[in-house]
């Protein structure tokens, strides 16, 4: 589904953030990138939706290079969730969730139905929350809206960059549990960045341990735990 073929990213022609990286991420897999700060996780993630372009090597989605897709279509078809979700403060929750469906010119009826469906999916009552403003929501609720927004136009790939790490431990645990449930009900390829090994072991189908821009190990949680 997503393939990295000897991908290198140099910043300022000297910092090698990612070094000849090869990755194969399967369709509908929950794939976790983990490693110490500065090992290249975020750079790897952002190269998938071309927020950052590789300096060398190729990235494929399906059998097409990402540089051969129209960049807007590429971004609309890849959901993206950040650590500190940036919701538009002047817009309602419904409007925030509907940004990509609006760009794709879905009908009003389709959008309203989708917003309510998504709010339920992330555990928020649509009747209560659809017309509220982001500032009326807790941090955990705002992250839920971030997840709903990323899922809105039903992309096949979701990128998540430490989506729960800014939350208090209880909210984090709740969102992790909901994510476990969600990953069983939606068929998506999810690439998830974290530096929390417990989170990685809990959520990941496979875990990729990175160090200094390279892969140290890739395997299932069992593989990772049983390595001598
Ligand atoms: P991680 O997500 O694992 O913390 P990053 O991908 O953010 O790692 O960073 C990898 C390396 O690239 C680090 O050494 C970081 O300092 C460097 N880096 C990241 N972004 C930039 C940038 N925009 N300009 C220069 N160096 C950067
Ligand atoms: P979550 O479990 O999503 O993290 P919290 O436990 O942080 O939510 O919040 C508990 C309740 O407090 C929620 O029902 C939410 O509606 C309410 N709440 C939190 N912050 C605010 C706020 N800034 N304005 C209004 N209500 C809030």
3-state helix, strand, coil split of the chain in percent (to 5) is: 40, 25, 35
- Give Cβ neighbours of residue 163 (< 8 Å, ≥ 6 apart): 81, 82, 83, 85, 143, 146, 147, 175, 192
Q: Is 41 in the pocket of ligand 1 (CB under 6 A)?
A: yes
Structure tokens at 207: 């875990």
Q: Give the Å distance between the CA of 214 and the centre of ligand 1.
A: 13
Provide the total of helices (H) and of strands (E) in the chain, helices listed first.
10, 10
Position 188 pLDDT exceeds 70 = yes
**Positive or negative torsion for Cα 178, 180, 204, 155:** negative
pTM more than 0.90:
no
Ligand nearest to the CA of 19: 1
Kindly indicate whether the ipTM for this predicted assembly is greater than 0.85, answering yes or no.
no
- Ligand 1 binding pocket includes 34 (Cβ within 6 Å): no
Distance of alpha carbon 81 from alpha carbon 143, whole angstroms: 8
pLDDT at 28 > cutoff 90? yes
43 lines ligand 1 (CB under 6 A): yes
pLDDT, average across residues 173-202: 92
Q: CB of 211 closer than 6 A to ligand 1? A: no
Residue 5 is predicted with a pLDDT of 98
Ligand nearest the Cα atom of residue 47: 1
34-65: pLDDT as tens digits: 999 999 999 999 999 999 999 999 999 999 99
Q: Given this model, what pLDDT does residue 212 score?
A: 96
Q: How confident is the model at residue 26 (pLDDT cuts 50, 70, 90)?
A: very high
Task: Assess contact for 9 and 16: CB atoms under 8 A.
Answer: yes
């Amino acid at each position: 589904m997503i393939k990295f073929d000897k991908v290198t990213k140099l910043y300022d022609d000297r910092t090698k953030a990612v070094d000849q990286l090869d990755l194969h991420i399967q369709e509908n897999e929950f794939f976790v990138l983990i490693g110490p700060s500065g090992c290249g996780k975020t750079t790897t993630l952002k190269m998938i939706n071309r927020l950052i372009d590789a300096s060398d090597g190729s990235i494929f989605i399906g059998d097409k290079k990402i540089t051969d897709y129209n960049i807007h279509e590429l971004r609309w078809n890849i959901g993206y969730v950040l650590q500190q979700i940036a919701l538009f403060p002047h817009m309602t929750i419904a409007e925030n969730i509907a940004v990509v469906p609006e760009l794709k010119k879905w009908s009003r009826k389709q959008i309203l139905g989708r917003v309510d469906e998504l709010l339920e999916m992330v555990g928020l009552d649509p009747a209560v929350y659809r017309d509220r403003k982001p500032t009326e929501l807790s941090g955990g609720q705002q992250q839920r809206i971030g997840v709903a927004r990323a899922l809105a136009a039903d992309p096949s790939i979701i990128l998540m960059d430490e989506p729960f790490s800014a939350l208090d431990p209880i909210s984090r645990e709740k969102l992790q549990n909901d994510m476990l449930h969600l990953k069983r009900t939606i068929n998506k390829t999810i690439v998830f960045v974290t530096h929390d090994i417990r989170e990685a072991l809990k959520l990941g189908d496979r875990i990729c341990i990175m160090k200094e821009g390279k892969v140290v190990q890739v395997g299932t949680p069992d593989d990772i735990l049983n390595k001598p």
